Amino acid sequence: MREKKYKWRRADYQEKTRGLLIVNTGNGKGKTTCALGLMMRAAGRGLRCCMIQFMKSKADRYGEHESAEKLGIEVHTMGDGFTWDTKNPEQDRQTARSTWALCVEKMRGGEYDMLVFDEIVYVLSYQMLPLEEVLEEIQRSRATQPALHIILTGRDAPAALIEAADLVTEMREIKHPFNRTEERIFAQEGIEF
Ligand code: ATP
Ligand code: MG
């Protein structure tokens, strides 16, 4: 866990802000990086940000984790390094559960201005977590913390999630270096991790 730099939320921000439920979905690149960009902007305004990653493993240490730490953005990577290839669906469900439990703790704790649940949409689309329960919990937090921004990322956003959100962006692949017909270019430092 990366420790936070800002101890308290900004009181003036609470008064004048309408918290948004934001969904970054679609099959093109940019869902997680967009969420990181928003946290970078928010951190510059002294807002308290936290990202919880459903898919990365605890052992993963990417460029964004180094940068987030410098900016006082808290990041939690859950999971045990298995690949979510659903060879062990029960294990996947359990990891989804425990990661969601941390999301709930962060929402209920009321200490953040911006929360990012990275790849939760993927987890929802694979029905590893019940959508109704997730939506209910999010709505409850938004009702008690009207200035809280919550950002959800991942492919294949379910219709009910899109309906509930204030801002939905679909990243659409036009070209991706992994999918080139000539020599393919795979994940690179500073671009993918
Ligand atoms: P990023 O983290 O770069 O913003 P993302 O969050 O939009 O990407 P994910 O669905 O989380 O993308 O996929 C994770 C990885 O898959 C990333 O490393 C990304 O580069 C890669 N990826 C994203 N879009 C595509 C695509 N259309 N084809 C192949 N690989 C992709
Ligand atoms: Mg992503």
**Using CA atoms, how far apart are residues 44 and 137, in angstroms rounded to an integer?**
28
| 33 close to ligand 1 (CB < 6 Angstrom) | yes
Residue whose Cα lies nearest atom 31 of ligand 1: it is 29
Q: In the beta sheet, which residues pair with residue 150?
A: 21, 115
Q: Which ligand lies nearest the alpha carbon of 155?
A: 1
Is residue 101 scored above 80 in pLDDT? Answer: yes
Q: Enumerate the active-site residues.
A: 27, 29, 31-33, 41, 82, 84, 119
Q: Domain ranges for the chain, please list them.
A: 17-171
The model's pTM = 0.92
Protein residue with its CA nearest to atom 24 in ligand 1: 29
- From atom 4 of ligand 1, which residue's Cα is the shortest distance away? 30
- Residue 86 pLDDT: 63
pLDDT of 11 reads 81
- The finding on whether 14 has its CB within 6 A of some atom of ligand 1 is no
Residue minimizing CA distance to atom 15 of ligand 1: 192
Distance of CA 15 from the midpoint of ligand 2 (Å): 32
Best mutation site among 24, 29, 53 for ligand 1 pocket (most ligand atoms within 8 Å of CB): 29
The pLDDT-based confidence of 8 (bands split at 50, 70, 90) is: low
SS3 category, 94: helix
Percent of the chain whose pLDDT exceeds 90: 78
Q: Closest ligand 1 atom, CA of 122?
A: 10
Q: Is 88 in the pocket of ligand 1 (CB under 6 A)?
A: no
Q: What is the pLDDT of residue 82?
A: 52
Closest atom of ligand 1 relative to the 30 alpha carbon = 4
> Is the CB–ligand 1 distance for residue 46 below 6 Å?
no
Superfamily of domain 17-171: P-loop containing nucleotide triphosphate hydrolases (3.40.50.300)
Nearest Cα residue to 172 out of 22, 21, 31, 23: 31
Better-predicted residue by pLDDT, 2 or 51: 51
What pLDDT sits at residue 169?
Answer: 98
For the segment 72-89, the average pLDDT, to the nearest whole number, is 77
Q: How confident is the model at residue 78 (pLDDT cuts 50, 70, 90)?
A: confident
pLDDT, tens digit, 9 for 90 and up, residues 134-172: 999 999 999 999 999 999 999 999 999 999 999 999 999
φ, ψ (nearest 5 deg) of residue 97:
-60, -50
Q: Is the pLDDT of residue 81 over 60?
A: no
The amino acid that residue 68 corresponds to is A
Confidence class for position 80, pLDDT limits 50, 70, 90: low
> Three-state SS for 90?
helix
Kindly report, residue by residue over 165-192, the tens digit of the pLDDT: 999 999 999 999 999 889 999 999 999 9
Give the chain's mean pLDDT: 91
Please say whether the beta carbons of 74 and 103 come within 8 A.
no
User: What radius of gyration do the chain's Cα atoms show?
Assistant: 16
